[in-house]
Structure 1
């Protein structure tokens, strides 16, 4: 008969082994694997580990916030913002007040813990070694490209250049000092001759008097002579000079207008605005033809209506769009996609461009590079198929009725 002592010993060993297994790296890795699937299905539309997108970069976020804070934030970020949590409010303000969807109703505590485990595992991975970039050919060499000029701080310029600049500044300062000294010495020597009419109307006289505070060269001379004998409610008009600067600018505009008319309308050596516009549109069309990802390029897609395309579009929507627009397109963070109101147009081509290029200012990320053209057309067609479905708890209309 097996003794109770032997059974107890085997049970104890099994219990210890089980506890070690639960706390082992293999179990933690399994949590991270499950968390990766949840993260990719719910978070990648707005978050990256390395860079800010719609929301902040998540690398080492567990070190900055702590697991308990992360769990509460993932469950309902807006509840924390409204409660005045300092970190939550800062994030909400920093990222354009785009609210993060509340996952408390769609993810269990275990799911959230797995997501945090995945973030921890990815954060602790060593940085990938950067491949050495081959030397760039010289600009003049075959196949070479112009090299961008790197900005150099002023104090890091070559010593000889710094000395030259300092010497130039010193010479300019010395010239100014000498001119001021000569002015102070010569003016008293000239006596009352500087006030003679002939000297006052010369260029040197005007400049000298301006330096002494006589602004007649700028404002004109006040004659204090009544222009007419008309008296309007005690208001009298004096025949004073117009300011010289005003008259000079008036003469310049006359010369400019004549030159403008000859250049554009007589000799036709310059292109008018209509011609410039047409030329620029032709250039833009050529650039659009060379750039397939041009946002202004005209597209002529047709709505896909077959069941296979719409099923594929629904799968893409559920994976990438439901986090912000709701599983039924009813709208959460993003707008309601089932009503007749649109922010960026209801045509299939307009929806396609919105999906492709996004609206970064409003938190809509661009999906080009992540989805193929066919996938973006499928999900755009699926979005149009949601019109009039009237799901429960739909978000209020936004945009214009189409």
Structure 2
């Protein structure tokens, strides 16, 4: 028997190749499945595929960085930053210098590769989603009216243009008529325009103001010295106060009388102190009704029963330990077992910090991910850790309570 007869035929080769490809695809799919488990257990606190959270969005990160760099960064990001790696430094600077926890001791290299496979799979899904949405818009999108486009003046209807032109012509003709009347009647009056009676009349004041005499505004300078007003050789002229000043003085007197009657006599108006107190009451009512308002007043009591504390511990281990440590000793986030707090150590203050987060400091908001009861449970668990003094605890931060 020739050794050639031992070689498989073409059909066998095709079948073997197909089985090999199926095996590779199956292995890749399994990598993504395992990677999803690792991602959800360790990464979702700080990362999302599509959007920035505490850390950057991970969509297509495999295209921006090679696999070896990603593995090193996940294992120990600060080691890369301290080595001067420009990409690691850029990420560290961009995201408020919040260090990423080192996973070199908790994740094997194979686990990180599985996470990369999961990111690749999710990035491909995210890329396909917008195309499908563009083909089949939802009813809400179809019913939403488009934003009105801005229209320039020249694009307005001719009727509007004609209205503006006619208005301008009427104003111009009115001014021309007034000028012509002045030029016609002033010469006819001759020297009588300088009579004191005419000068003090409204028409005379307007006429002389147009001719450059500003005494109607500034008052008349009499150049008369007070007989007994002398101080170190300085004498006072008996000039009129400007009419505009006297008018404002008289108006202020009338206003003061009206103000006193309105606010202090008849009390038909509220003073500033009363308005402030009313606004504070309204704000408190609004905050109480709006559960999503960070300033809403809450009066929760810390839970102390074993079941609630155990539930809080489980929630903490799943969601908070990545940044605060398994024993809350502090890692990226602060130590939660001492007497010092950055945002308050009362159960209501801890509840708000967990619910609304502190994005500027890297603390993500947990509303929408945890229920109110779960947030209260984890807040109560955190309070129960006070004074436990775990090993390698982070130095105190904030104010002592």
Coarse TM-score class (shorter-chain normalised): 0.7 to 0.9
Distance 2:221 2:70 in 1: 77
Aligned partners of 1:76 and 1:104 also within 8 Å: no
CA deviations 1:188-219 (Å, max 9, x no partner) are 77579788766765656666766777665655
Mean alpha-carbon deviation: is it higher for 373-382 or for 247-256? 247-256
- CA gap of 1:328–1:297, structure 2 versus 1, over 3 A, is same
Deviation at 1:384, TM superposition (A): 1.2
Mean alpha-carbon deviation: is it higher for 38-47 or for 196-205? 196-205
Aligned partners of 1:98 and 1:363 also within 8 Å: no
Deviation at 1:303, TM superposition (A): 2.4
CA deviations 1:89-126 (Å, max 9, x no partner) are 37734x5x251424353444333333232222111113
Q: Which residue of 1 aligns with 2:349?
A: 350
TM-score (norm 2): 0.73
Distance 2:303 2:254 in 1: 63
Aligned partners of 2:28 and 2:117 also within 8 Å: yes
Secondary structure at 1:310's aligned position in 2? helix
Matched, 1:253 2:249: no
Q: Which residue of 1 aligns with 2:267?
A: 268
TM-score (norm 1): 0.72
Mean alpha-carbon deviation: is it higher for 350-359 or for 220-229? 220-229
Secondary structure at 1:24's aligned position in 2? helix
Distance 1:80 1:213 in 2: 75
- CA gap of 1:244–1:390, structure 2 versus 1, over 3 A, is farther
Secondary structure at 2:34's aligned position in 1? helix
5+ long unaligned stretches in structure 2? 8-12
Secondary structure at 1:258's aligned position in 2? helix
- CA gap of 1:386–1:221, structure 2 versus 1, over 3 A, is farther
Mean alpha-carbon deviation: is it higher for 163-172 or for 331-340? 163-172
Q: Which residue of 1 aligns with 2:313?
A: 314
Secondary structure at 2:396's aligned position in 1? coil
CA deviations 1:210-260 (Å, max 9, x no partner) are 67776656555556666674445x877655555555444443333333222
Deviation at 1:293, TM superposition (A): 4.3
Deviation at 1:355, TM superposition (A): 1.3
- CA gap of 1:224–1:91, structure 2 versus 1, over 3 A, is farther
Aligned partners of 1:77 and 1:99 also within 8 Å: no
Aligned partners of 1:78 and 1:100 also within 8 Å: no
Q: CA RMSD in A?
A: 4.6
Mean alpha-carbon deviation: is it higher for 318-327 or for 81-90? 81-90
Larger radius of gyration: 2
Higher helix share: 2
Secondary structure at 2:139's aligned position in 1? coil
Q: Which residue of 2 aligns with 1:133?
A: 140
Superposition map of 1:52-67 within 5 A: 52-65=52-65, 67=67
Q: Which residue of 2 aligns with 1:153?
A: 149
Distance 1:226 1:71 in 2: 94
5+ long unaligned stretches in structure 1? 8-12, 137-147
Secondary structure at 1:261's aligned position in 2? helix
Deviation at 1:270, TM superposition (A): 2.5
- CA gap of 1:303–1:286, structure 2 versus 1, over 3 A, is closer
Q: How many residues align?
A: 382
